[in-house]
Amino acid sequence: MLSLSQYHPSLAKNHVLVAQAYIGRELYSDAIKYFENAVEIQRLNLASDHLEIKLVYYQMGDVHCMMNQLDQAHEKYEFAENDISEDNDEDDTDTDTGYDQRRLLARVSMNQHLATVYGRRSGLETAEADARLADMTIAIEKYSESIDILKDLYPFDTSIQPLDILTLVERLKQLAFCHEHLADAMALDGSDEAESTYKEALAIQAKLFQYADTNRGEIIRKIGRYYEQNQSDQETAISYYQEAVNESLESAATITTYYTLGRLTVEWKEDSDAASAYYNEAYKLINEDNTILKAIMREKCPTIQDSSHSEGDDKVVQESSENKRGEDTTENAENTLEPSE
């Protein structure tokens, strides 16, 4: 029976597949080991700068980003980004070739992962202000680079055909993701372009609507947050928040949005009846066992009616104020009701 050498080139693909499986299980160190095994086999069979090797290096860089190991990620990406030698017959400068598209999509993934790491670092309160600003700037640049590549590969006005529907839908989802998170970074950076970038994400989501699940409601909610926090325009914020709760939102986001609508309605419109209606909607969605959050809502809106309510619920906030642990718990619960950055 014929058996393959442990260094047969086809086995490199097996190692890559195993590594990708480990990524799915968030076992990143194991994934790196299998990627390294794949590279070891590839180097024995391919030119040292062959595209197949570089594609593995892109993936290793992505994994290091997932592990928040920025220096190691840059090291892998630097090798992957080096030009492929001209005598590599399988490399083609034609942007329509499968090989070149694979490299471009690897760059999209690289930019997305780097943007995530830099965006995360920019939110660290322990960092210096200048460093945080620099990190946010890099995050914005990386998301922008991903968008440029995807737009070149898959123009937005490309019609979705049955033969390429899966590929195009996946790329449009990536494009929407990049626009949404670029807008998040812009909003944190105080950029006036955040709203238009969110709306570009919405336009892409509209095209995807009949082919895949979308998070249109979440993007609309973020536009409302942008108007509330960046523009101090409560009226416009309220209109977007109202639209968001009529879309599909996760339960926690819906509770937060109803709560925010109640708060803004009291602060800006001074309409306690309308605010009570919003608080009631939020209250209905809170799990029965979350007594602290329910007590906070009842404190905000005493008119809330709940047949399952007991005197014990009313005592939660009072009791929590009697000890430090209770204070922290109540404060954390209240924070969950505010729109996060």
Print the domain residue range for 267.
215-304+316-341
Confidence of residue 126 (pLDDT cuts 50, 70, 90): low
Residues 25 and 128 in one domain: no
Domain annotation covers residue 89 = no
Domain annotation covers residue 102 = yes
Residues 51 and 150 in one domain: no
Residues 240 and 320 in one domain: yes
CATH number at residue 63: 1.25.40.10
State the helix-helix crossing angle for 291-300 and 324-335, rounded to 10 degrees: 70
How is residue 236 written in tokens?
Answer: 């416009």
Domain annotation covers residue 243 = yes
pLDDT of residue 103: 92
Residues 244 and 334 in one domain: yes
pLDDT of residue 336: 58
Last residue of a domain, one of 83, 118, 147: 83
Structural domain count, the chain = 3
Q: Is the pLDDT of residue 155 over 80?
A: no
pLDDT of residue 341: 54
Residues 101 and 37 in one domain: no
Domain annotation covers residue 88 = no
Stretch among 94-108, 130-144, 178-192 having the lowest mean pLDDT: 94-108
Burial 50-67 (b: 16+ CB within 10 A, else e): bbbbbbbbbbbbbbbbbb
Enumerate residues 6+ apart whose C-beta is below 8 A from 115. Answer: 138, 139, 140, 142, 143, 146, 181, 182, 185
Long-range Cβ pairs for the range 77-80 (8 Å, 24+):
77/110, 77/114, 79/54, 80/54, 80/55, 80/106, 80/110
Residues 206 and 243 in one domain: no
Domain annotation covers residue 91 = no
Residues 232 and 327 in one domain: yes
Q: Is the pLDDT of residue 247 over 70?
A: yes
Nearest to 257 by CA among 296, 202, 220: 220
pLDDT of residue 338: 63
pLDDT of residue 323: 47
Residues 66 and 121 in one domain: no
Last residue of a domain, one of 210, 227, 261: 210
* Cα(61)–Cα(73) distance, integer angstroms: 4
Q: Is the pLDDT of residue 47 over 50?
A: yes
Question: For 266-289, how does the pLDDT look when each residue is reduced to its tens digit (9 = 90+)?
Answer: 888 788 888 889 999 999 999 888
Residues 335 and 219 in one domain: yes
Task: Name residue, tokens 């997305």.
Answer: 112
How is residue 133 written in tokens?
Answer: 């600003």
pLDDT of residue 67: 96
What is the average pLDDT score of the chain? 81
Domain annotation covers residue 311 = no
